Structure 1
Amino acid sequence: MADKPPKKGKLLFKGDKKEKKKKRKHRDEEDRDQAQLTEDGWVRVDGLDDLVGPVFITHPSDPTVCLTVDENDRFLAYPLPEDVSSEEPMIVNQVFVGARSVGSTQRFTFKSYLGKFLSSDKVGVTRCDREAISGPEEWEPVITEAGVAFQNTYGKFMMVDQVANGGFKIRTDAEEIGFCETFRVFCQARFKYKRKKESKEKKFNADRAELDNVKKNQSWGGGKLHMTREDSKRLKKAKAEGRMNEAMLDRRSMMKADRYCK
């Protein structure tokens, strides 16, 4: 049988050091690095939860403008240069901090870097120089496919208006939502993805709730679940209505597995 031909490759000489093979980065590390890159910077707001925290509010006019407050509390529609990204602020003056009003999930307040609140009066004059929160400082954002509209406590919408000298002015007296009333709002990506992750973890799981109940209070079935699809729906409905404990007690009573439940 003929000898096999030698494999072709780089010639090695005595005393030469072998080249170390480059280790390929583990996929988990690559995914982690990619996630880190994704969570840097600013991303579009697509839900009310994204408005909690630092936000950058722009309008796609020509040129694009952003809401800005100067050192003298003057509220301005600042035109962004063409060579500057319209998706993230250049200076802290362009950043507002959104927060939900106490006792409400729909109403928000927006505070400037100077600690003053964005407000609007009955005739639509919009400013950012209020130090305390009352009705005029509360806003109800409306999420649309095109962006975000801001409705004041008097039912009017904030809008961008072009003035005679070619500049822009912000006022809040529009009756309906149109192009001038629709803003593009950006939030910090790391806060957005963190909230989404926490929301996913807190999502109610009826099977898990029932299993915890079995382990804690019951002994039937050797700790196994007896849960139908209808049972799961019934518990989810009870959770939404705020009577979860009552519903769980009813289940224990019907299963007759815990003599202490009656």
Structure 2
Amino acid sequence: MSDYDNIRIKKLVLKGEKHKKSKKRKKEKDEAGSSSKKSKVQVDEDAVEHGGWWVAKTAADITGTVSIEFSDRCYLKALDNGLFTLGAPHNAGEGPDPEEIFTAFPINDRKVSFKSGYGKYLKIEKDGMVTGRSEAVGSMEQWEPVFEDKRMALLSETGHFMSIDPEDDACVALRKKVGQYEICKVRSNATRDVVVDTEPKEEKGDLGEVERNYVKKFQKFQDKKMRINQNDVKELENAKAQGSLHETLLDRRSKMKADRYCK
């Protein structure tokens, strides 16, 4: 465990590439971004159940710190002998252990490589075993995430999918078809930018529906009959183009003497 924690994660190293000393660069803080308006974060219940680690839906999501989950709350675990096994189940709300955390490096828009906490890359061997003993990335250290029907599997260079051997929980890549043991999830704990829909629910749909929505919201309903202005909707289209849609809607409701805010 102590050996694992002492490993220093370095950048992606390709085979044949010369090692160069990199200079430390100070990261500039984006003050404008930090002071910008914060958006509301949508709760990902699945991520909460897994300690904040969310499921990658595309290959582009698989970068940086990740874990590989083969069954619910059971993650691929690196051993100090360069092999991998399936870790013990975690309780709800817990994330992966340090030995179950990897660093993912995009190779291109389809393939990625994974480095264990021991600083070695995951590779498929000739006998189908998956090992973590490579110092650099070649073709055998590259994996392609394949998505289908909201499920995912990791395809090796040999055309075999990464899986967990049900007999000894070892990580292998022996099958060219995806079965229950090949299905996995790559999870990330990176911060996500969530786009929040700020459009009021009353303004969903066309302008006719928008007017009905606001009538429902503000009408007094004394006789339980909805009163909608029968003038051409073209008036609303012109008002929207001029930026006076809400004023025009209020004026149309006031003519029907049905709005609670109109005299």
**Please, which of 150, 155, 160 is the counterpart of residue 159 of structure 2?**
155
- Asked if structure 2 preserves the Cα contact closer than 8 Å seen for 1:80 and 1:86, the reply is no
**Please, which of 50, 74, 80 is the counterpart of residue 83 of structure 2?**
74
Q: Name the SS for the 1:123 alignment partner.
A: coil
**CA deviation profile, 1:163-196 (whole Å, cap 9, x unmatched):** 1xxx412210111112111102211140xx24x7
Q: Give the corresponding residue for 1:51.
A: 62
Q: Give the corresponding residue for 1:117.
A: 121
Q: Give the corresponding residue for 2:176.
A: 175
Which whole-Å CA distance do the structure 1 matches of 2:179 and 2:162 have between them? 11
Which whole-Å CA distance do the structure 1 matches of 2:119 and 2:153 have between them? 23
Tell me: CA distance 1:87–1:148, structure 2 relative to 1, closer, same or farther (3 Å): farther
CA-based RMSD of the aligned residues comes to 2.8
- Asked if structure 2 preserves the Cα contact closer than 8 Å seen for 1:57 and 1:66, the reply is yes
Q: Name the SS for the 1:93 alignment partner.
A: helix
Tell me: CA distance 1:74–1:86, structure 2 relative to 1, closer, same or farther (3 Å): farther
Moved over 6 A (4+): 36-40
Which whole-Å CA distance do the structure 1 matches of 2:190 and 2:67 have between them? 12
- Asked if structure 1 preserves the Cα contact closer than 8 Å seen for 2:166 and 2:181, the reply is no
Higher helix share goes to which structure?
Answer: 1
Instruction: Give TM-score, length-normalised by structure 2.
Output: 0.52
Which whole-Å CA distance do the structure 1 matches of 2:117 and 2:105 have between them? 14
Kindly indicate whether residue 103 of structure 2 is the aligned counterpart of residue 97 of structure 1: yes
Can you give the 5+ residue segments of structure 2 that lack an aligned partner in the other structure? 1-36, 196-263
Q: Give the corresponding residue for 1:24.
A: none
Can you give the 5+ residue segments of structure 1 that lack an aligned partner in the other structure? 1-30, 198-262
Displacement after TM superposition at 1:55 (Å):
1.1
Which whole-Å CA distance do the structure 2 matches of 1:92 and 1:51 have between them? 18
Q: Name the SS for the 2:165 alignment partner.
A: strand
**CA deviation profile, 1:202-261 (whole Å, cap 9, x unmatched):** xxxxxxxxxxxxxxxxxxxxxxxxxxxxxxxxxxxxxxxxxxxxxxxxxxxxxxxxxxxx
**CA deviation profile, 1:143-167 (whole Å, cap 9, x unmatched):** 223432011111111112211xxx4
Structure with bigger gyration radius: 1
Which whole-Å CA distance do the structure 2 matches of 1:97 and 1:151 have between them? 18
Displacement after TM superposition at 1:32 (Å):
4.5
Which whole-Å CA distance do the structure 2 matches of 1:178 and 1:146 have between them? 14
Instruction: Give TM-score, length-normalised by structure 1.
Output: 0.52
- Residue identity over aligned pairs, in percent, reads 24
Tell me: CA distance 1:79–1:145, structure 2 relative to 1, closer, same or farther (3 Å): farther
